[in-house]
Amino acid sequence: MSEGPVLFGVHVPPHPQPLLAHEQNEGWGRLRAAFDHCREQIELSGADILLVYSTTWPSIIGHQIQAHPEPEWVHVDDDFHFLGSMPYKFRMDPEFAEGYRDAAEARGLFARTVAYHGFPIDTGSVVALSLLNPNNRIPACIVSSNLYANRSETIVLGKAARDTLEAQGKKAVVVVVSSLSNRMFTEHIEPHEDRIHSQKDDDWNRKMLEFFADGRLEDISQLSRDIHGQIRVSKVVAYKPIWWMAAVMGQHNNYSGKVHAYEALNGAGGAVISLVPTSQSVGDKEFDEDDVEYYRGDRDVLVSGDMDAPAGVKGRLDDSDAPPTAGPSGVIHVPGAPKPVGAYPHARRVGDLLYLSGVGPRNPADDSIPGGAIRDPDGNPSEYDIEEQTRACIENLRTVLEASGRGLGDVLDVTAFLIDMDRDFSGYNSVYGDYFADIQPTRTTLEISALPTPIAVELKVIASAV
């Protein structure tokens, strides 16, 4: 058995048929029997907590974690209300929930606990906890599936769960509540008519089950986007539970896998699977996807590629798409920023801070000066637009910050240099306010006699690097 905090993992479907109608279809009955088998294993496990990630609990405002000590209600499914009601009273672990929230925030996520009477616990969680832990022998914790979370965010969320288990010295059984293929029939069918929606879905499900049976959890995690593209209905919820499960359980293939049942649930693929950590593994251990320890994204949802971004919306898929950041010693050179006029980098990361070299308004493409140079090639003074120079200056600043994995919102301190305070302060100050009024970095503005290039303004910045 495991020496880590996770004793074993279980993958179960969210549909209510195994709970409410298992006698109406042989396949649903086999799923129910598989749930019962896993329940027995959980009872024998000595686990301190059941840690549940449910795909039928979507969240938008970060990650929500159930923290009510004894949530109680009578739940009815939106689609399958005719199968009956699901009364429940569960036992949660609020201490773990609060620790999990803190651990998630420490890794850069937005997380919060929910502890309200009547909070609508989702169908998947109700089914899983009712069948796997019917007497509340083991306290549970449920975490939501954020609609917008990408791979990096979901993996970090899984790691935060592991952090919490380790910090609190608890042993967990991890429960993922998710379909395999999730394409249901869109018309009413009789129980005896149930089957997997298509041969293609069935083929992919069986391929996934081969991986599960071989204990290749990390391999499935790395294939998640392909799986989603092939057999998942195109809605916001991707096949992300497997990212979370792999991250909680250790991101490897060293498991003994067993598929206890695989059946159709109104067309979707439902399987009850267990994964027990072992010292054995299948295949080598080279994985393609980058690992992520800390979430730095802005959860800007709408990404390109596999995740169904609307046309024209730009966004980062995950941290692996981020531009290159610091080299040795934290030194950062940014090809898209104005070339330095000396032997210095654009920025340097030291500890939690990012120091930027002075940034002027020069156009990185051709060294021209937006708003005009302060003197012509012969050295004669010429008219220039301080507002346009300041704007270009701040946009160059943004370029350097974003190439360093940060943004204008991370600026802590600004030192501004003007060559003519009387003439330019007002225009510079106005543009500055457009960008920084809400960010509120500290600022010092100085008049100096000259800058190395024919510009009127330069900014020196210190930003947060975390």
Partner 1 sequence: MARGEIVLGCLAPHPPHLVYADNPEQNEPFSEGGWETLRWGYQRLARKLKNIDYDTIVIFTPHWQTYIGTHFLGLPNFKSLSVDPIFPNLFRYHYDLNVDVELAEAMCAHAAEAGIITKMMRNPDFRVDYGTITSCHLLNPDWDKQIVTISSNRNRHYYSVEVMNEQATALGEACSRAVELSGRKVVLVASHSLSHRHFTSEAPLPEDMSREHIYNHSQYVWDMKMVDLMRAGSMREVIDLMPEFTEQTMAETEGGGLTWMMAAMGYPDYNAEIYGYQSVIGTGNVIAAWDPNEQRREVVL
- In the numeric block, the tokens 């938008």 are attached to 60
Q: Are 345 and 356 in contact (CB under 8 A)?
A: no
User: What is the nearest approach in angstroms of partner 1 to the Cβ of residue 77?
Assistant: 9
Of 312 and 328, CB closest to partner 1: 312
Of 148 and 436, CB closest to partner 1: 148
Neighbour tally for 13: CB within 10 Å:
28
Q: How far apart are CA 82 and CA 191, in angstroms?
A: 13
Closest CA to 256 of 64, 8, 88, 433: 8
Q: Which two tokens mark 400?
A: 């350097």
User: What is the nearest approach in angstroms of partner 1 to the Cβ of residue 312?
Assistant: 7
Q: How far is CA 99 from CA 104, 162, 244, 252, in A?
A: 9, 11, 17, 25
Of 120 and 324, CB closest to partner 1: 120
The footprint of partner 1 (CB under 8 A) covers 57-62, 74-76, 78-79, 81-82, 84-85, 110, 114, 116-120, 122, 146, 148, 183-188, 233-235, 266, 299, 301-302, 310-313
Q: Are 341 and 458 in contact (CB under 8 A)?
A: no
Q: Which two tokens mark 153?
A: 């965010």
User: What is the nearest approach in angstroms of partner 1 to the Cβ of residue 465?
Assistant: 20
Q: How far apart are CA 139 and CA 121, in angstroms?
A: 15
Of 81 and 339, CB closest to partner 1: 81
User: What is the nearest approach in angstroms of partner 1 to the Cβ of residue 235?
Assistant: 4
User: What is the nearest approach in angstroms of partner 1 to the Cβ of residue 105?
Assistant: 11
User: What is the nearest approach in angstroms of partner 1 to the Cβ of residue 369?
Assistant: 28
Q: How far apart are CA 293 and CA 168, in angstroms?
A: 20
62 conformational bin, left if phi > 0, alpha if psi -120 to 50, beta if neither? left
Of 315 and 358, CB closest to partner 1: 315
Q: Report the half-sphere exposure of 401 (CA within 13 A, side-chain side).
A: 24
Dihedral, CA of residue 310, residue 312, residue 318 and residue 322, to nearest 10: 180
Of 239 and 428, CB closest to partner 1: 239
Of 311 and 343, CB closest to partner 1: 311
User: What is the nearest approach in angstroms of partner 1 to the Cβ of residue 29?
Assistant: 21
User: What is the nearest approach in angstroms of partner 1 to the Cβ of residue 440?
Assistant: 12
Of 197 and 346, CB closest to partner 1: 197
User: What is the nearest approach in angstroms of partner 1 to the Cβ of residue 39?
Assistant: 25
Q: Which two tokens mark 214?
A: 């071989």
Q: How far is CA 135 from CA 41, 231, 259, in A?
A: 14, 35, 25
Report DSSP letters for 98-163, one per residue.
HHHHHHHHHTT--EEEE--TT----HHHHHHHHHHSTT--S-EEEEEEETT--HHHHHHHHHHHHH
Of 181 and 222, CB closest to partner 1: 181
